[in-house]
């Protein structure tokens, strides 16, 4: 683990996204809340927040951070895709990119778990960082 004790605490922000691609007709059921395991998106949101908070327990070299905010949103894209977006904020000595990536990944995995009984063929794709702010390297955004 890298020693960050000499780094100043600064405001940090990271955004990430993941996509869940469903078989035809399944995304509509997810959005309508019409699945046997219950409210998929609400459960995935809670799981994503928990994932962000537990990142340092899951990724060996991640520092535990004092996260101040985690936001997760879900939006339809195209015919059968659901985009999971996450934003994490903290004031700390190191960035929150891993927390944002973990949040969207855990949320997408939760969607998978709750929907697999009706769609074994769904895919989780395009997990990626889209924006980060703060720290020595400053601001970075993925080109559209």
Spatial CB neighbours of 106, under 8 Å, sequence gap ≥ 6:
47, 48, 50, 51, 52
CATH number of domain containing 66: 3.30.70.640
pLDDT digits (tens, 9 = 90+) for 42-82: 999 999 999 999 999 999 999 999 999 999 999 999 999 99
92 falls within a domain = yes
2 falls within a domain = no
pLDDT digits (tens, 9 = 90+) for 78-120: 999 999 999 999 999 999 999 999 999 999 999 999 999 999 9
What predicted TM-score, i.e. pTM, was given to this entire model?
0.95
Among this protein's residues, is 113 annotated catalytic? yes
1 falls within a domain = no
4 falls within a domain = no
Full domain range(s) for residue 118: 10-141
84 falls within a domain = yes
36 falls within a domain = yes
91 falls within a domain = yes
Q: How many domains does the chain have?
A: 1
3 falls within a domain = no
Tally of CB atoms within 10 A around 132: 22
Catalytic hit among 34, 79, 92, 113: 113
């Amino acid at each position: 683990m890298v020693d960050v004790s000499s780094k100043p605490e600064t405001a940090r922000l990271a955004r990430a996204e993941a996509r869940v691609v469903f078989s035809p007709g399944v995304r509509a059921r997810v959005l309508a809340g019409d699945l046997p395991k219950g409210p998929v998106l609400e459960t995935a949101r809670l799981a994503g927040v928990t994932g962000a908070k537990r990142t340092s327990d899951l990724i060996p070299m991640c520092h535990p951070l004092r996260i101040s905010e985690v936001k997760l949103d879900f939006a339809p894209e195209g015919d059968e895709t659901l985009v999971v977006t996450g934003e994490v904020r903290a004031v700390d000595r190191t960035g929150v990119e891993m927390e944002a990536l973990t949040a969207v990944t855990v949320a997408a995995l939760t969607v998978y778990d709750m929907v697999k009984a009706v769609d074994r063929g769904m895919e989780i794709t395009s997990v990626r960082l889209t924006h980060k702010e703060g720290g020595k390297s400053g601001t970075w955004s993925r080109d559209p």
